[in-house]
Structure 1
Amino acid sequence: EGYDTTLSEQNKAIQMELMKQKRKLDRLKKK
């Protein structure tokens, strides 16, 4: 079960990173 929790934690971190990257790209596109 510990494996599943670490996997979900990693997924959360990855999702957060992707959102950050998307925001950066959106900001660059607007300029």
Structure 2
Amino acid sequence: SGLIDEIAENDKVSFELERGMRGMNAVKVKKI
């Protein structure tokens, strides 16, 4: 996965979707 920050369960995050071999992947995930 494309994690930039360490993310806890209740954090709000932003991410971009990228089409991968097995469907959509979240990339550039970061806290907001």
Q: Which has the higher strand share?
A: 2
| TM bucket, shorter chain | under 0.3
The structure whose residues are more often helix, as a share, is 1
Larger of the two Rg values belongs to structure: 1
TM-score normalised according to structure 2 size: 0.13
TM-score by length of 1: 0.13
